[in-house]
Amino acid sequence: MACGTHATEHDKEIAEAHRRGWREGWDSGHENATYLSRAEVERLERRVVALEQQLGEVRRERAVADGHVVRREPASGE
């Protein structure tokens, strides 16, 4: 390609198409990464809630009754 002063109209169009394609590709990749990051954060937040619920159940199950620790046995599938 020639410099901006000596470039033909075709050269300028190709250069612009290249810049536009590069930018659109970058934008698309950025949007995809943002979407995937959000999805992972949401998945991890759901996992934290589930683990906190499990922890709360275990704490309730380990109540002291007449000096003995009482713990419910997990049902099948837990």
Please write down the HEC assignment for all residues of the chain.
Answer: CCCCCCCCHHHHHHHHHHHHHHHHHHHHHHHHHHHHHHHHHHHHHHHHHHHHHHHHHHHHHCCEECCEECCCCCCCCC
pTM score, two decimals? Answer: 0.53
pLDDT recorded at residue 17: 95
pLDDT recorded at residue 50: 94
Q: What is the pLDDT of residues 27-68, one digit of tens each?
A: 999 999 999 999 999 999 999 999 999 888 776 666 555 556
